[in-house]
Structure formats: structure tokens, C-alpha cells
Amino acid sequence: MDGQNKVADACAEVLKRNDLGAWTRPAPNLYPHQWLWDSCFIAIGLRHVDIGRAQKEIKSLFRGQWKNGMIPNIIYGSGKKTTDDIWNSRSSRQAPHNIRTSGITQPPMIAEAVVKIGEKMTKKARRQWYSSVFDDLVAYHEWLYRERDPHNEGLVVLVHPWECGLDNNPGWMSEMHLNHLPLWIRIVRSLKLQHVIALLRRDSGIWKSHERIDTIDALGLFSIARRLRRKKYETRLIFRRSHLAVEDLAFNSILVRANTLLHEISKELNRELPGWLHERMKKAPHALELLWHETRAQYFSRNFVTFEPINESSIMTFMPLYAGTITKARAANLVELLHAQQWHTTYPVPSVPKSSPYFQPKRYWQGPTWINTNWLIADGLERYGYHAEAEHIRQRSIELVEKHGSYEYFSPLDGSPAGTNNFSWTAALTIDFLNQ
């Protein structure tokens, strides 16, 4: 117990060190701004330390909310060197003009964070808390289904890999390389000039080359951002021409769970959701089944244009457990897969199975174990009664942080740390694991 107390204290110190008053930076150097789902995970841990501060963390996200309801993945800190010139989000009539943001969103973890905070409150305080965020939260869900579900089927479309939070995961990278690398990047790749460009990367002094996103992939990601900027983030313009667009499995699984929680919030407040939104949300659990691959007995993301599954295995395939709406039979299939050799590692759960050609144990989302995806999977396993599996993931996650500290991610093979240290969501979710 003393060891766990030391871990909790060390994690709380990381959060304190990264606290900028109203919001928490993910890490001191590499990530100096506010990120959407980072802050949600941070608030989930902060509720055990300072519930008022956890509330403030979530409320601060709404300061960047666009007029159309979108909550951006990045809200830039004032007076800090930024890369927001790649977004120029103020070119959109919908963007806030008193604060700089990106032009895309990130997994909708806000409802989860709101409810987790509410669990620590009295009924009266919880109702007040829910009331303070309800309208903004509904507006965000309305935007997701109004702007990103053009087929009215209950699946939301993403237009940039950064929106899924698992930036360079195999599914998205395979799609990007297949059809969406512009000519100049293909020339750079053919002439092997990426090694020269890599010397100019801002993250060169912070990240080891074998841990960060591949330079060609990084160029592709920035190129897509520029294309979105040129279209001023107008959905109708983005969808008018062939563009990288994916019905992302992880994002939609998280959204299904968020919908369930939003219903709980509305019920406690005795407030009705807009009728059309209610109907669209009802479709989401059934729509998630469109992403099931019968032959391979697992879920995959889907190309929005062709409706073809993106058959690249990654940690996304376990996210429907977190959604909590799949059948027990489907859940059993996923747990069986979790136990399979290709997913078995000393420190679960790798972001890519060992059998994948993409697997690299320390390259960002192409192999490492992340505490946030472990948290999501463990939560889902608990919901389906797989308590031993969930506990194994929790204890291994805590062990990683106890041995090495709050690193961004870890090798699933030997647990060695990678990425940046003093990473906020690692610290926050470890605190939450310790309190379960």
C-alpha cells in the first residue's frame, strides 16, 4: 500500500506541475496547449485530488467551442509559440475570434468526464454541475451528428487522423498512403529526402527518431490539415470532392458511450434532448455493428466513400467493449482475441498486434502500450463481467508507472518508457486506477 501511495503522490505532483490554472498541459515541452480528450482524462483523475479543479478543467474546454457546437482538439495557450498557422481556424465564420484553436475535433470523452466528476458529488451539487455544462454538451453532440453523419445512419465521419486521437494508427496510415499523399510528398519519399527534412522537425530534440511519427507520415498529416484549412472547415466542401474520410471505430465507440451518458445527464436534470438528436443517437449502437467483420470476428473502421472495411488490426478493435452496447457474444469474441498470441505481451495492451507489419514497440501509435487505451478497455471489460482481465490491465498499468514514472507510452514487450515524461493523462488515469 505504501508503494501505491507513493505512486499516487508522484502522479499528483505531475498534474500539479502541469497545472496552468484553468487547464492542464499534457506535458511541459512537447504539448504546451490544451487538448480535448487529454483534459477529459486529466479531469477523471483530478476528481480524486481536487474536484473543483476537475470541474474547471472541463469547463475550460468550452471556451474554445465553435458557434456550430464543435469542440476543437486543440485550444492554444495565450502567448505561447504555436503551430496554429497550419489551421488558421479564424478563417471560418464558426470559429471563436477571441481564442486560437485547431479546426478539427477529437474523441468525445467529455460526457464521461462530466459523469465521473458527478459521481463524487452530492445529488444537489451534481445537478448544478450537470446544468452548467448541459447546453454546451448537447450542442457538441448536435454538431457531430448534423455535420459528420451525412448518411443519417448513426456513424460519424472523421476527416483527419488526428481526430481519432490515435494519430498514426495503421488503418488511417494505410488509407492516407493509398490515395491521399500529394505528389510532392511522394517525390520526397522516392528521392529519400525525408531524412533531410527530419533534421528540421521541431520535435527532434524531444523525441527519439524511432519513437516519433515517421517523417513521411507527419508530412501527410500536415498536408491534410492544410487541405481542410483551404476549405475553411466547411463540411459540404470537404465532402464535395474525394477526401480522406473514415468512419472511425474508436471514435464511434466512444461516441456511443457518450450518448448513453448524455441520456443519463438529461434524465437526472429532467430535460429532454432535441427529438432529431435523440433519434440519431438511437441509431448509433446498431450502426456500430456495420463495422463488424464476420470472417475475422472483429471490428474495423470503414472507408466513408467506398464503405469498405479498413482491415488493419489495431487497438481500435477492442473499443466497442467501452461502448457497452455490443452483445455478450461479440464481447466474448473480442476477449478471445485479447487472449490471442498476437496480442499477448508482458505489458498489455499494445496499440498494434505483434503480428502486424506496422508493429514497432516504441513508435507512437504503432505498437506501444498507452495508459488511456488501457483505461478504456479495462472499463469495457468490467462492464461485460471480465473482472480478471480488467484487473490484470490495471495492475500492469500501475506497475509501468511505478517503475518508470508518468511517461507518454511504454514498450509492451519490456515496459521501457518512451515519448515524453511527466505526461498528464498517464498520471491522472493511474490515480483513477489506484482508486478503483
Active site residues: 167, 408
Do residues 312 and 300 make contact, with C-beta atoms less than 8 angstroms apart?
yes
Strands 246-247 and 292-293 turn out to be unpaired
With residue 75 as reference, give the H or E element that holds it.
strand 74-75
Residue whose grid cell is 503522490: 9
Would you call 179 exposed, middle or buried from its count of C-beta atoms within 10 A (0-12, 13-18, 19+)?
exposed
Residue spans of alpha helices (H) in 363-408: 371-383, 387-404
* CA–CA dist 41, 58 (Å, integer): 10
DSSP assignment of 338-369 = HTSGGG--SSS-BSS-TTSTT--TTSTTSS-B
Strands 409-410 and 298-299 turn out to be unpaired
Cell of 292: 463488424
DSSP code of residue 303: E
* CA–CA dist 297, 306 (Å, integer): 21
Contacts of 19 (CB under 8 A, 6+ apart): 53
DSSP code of residue 59: H
* CA–CA dist 249, 243 (Å, integer): 18
CA 69 to chain CA mean position, Å: 19
Do residues 218 and 197 make contact, with C-beta atoms less than 8 angstroms apart?
no
With residue 173 as reference, give the H or E element that holds it.
helix 170-179
Would you call 173 exposed, middle or buried from its count of C-beta atoms within 10 A (0-12, 13-18, 19+)?
buried
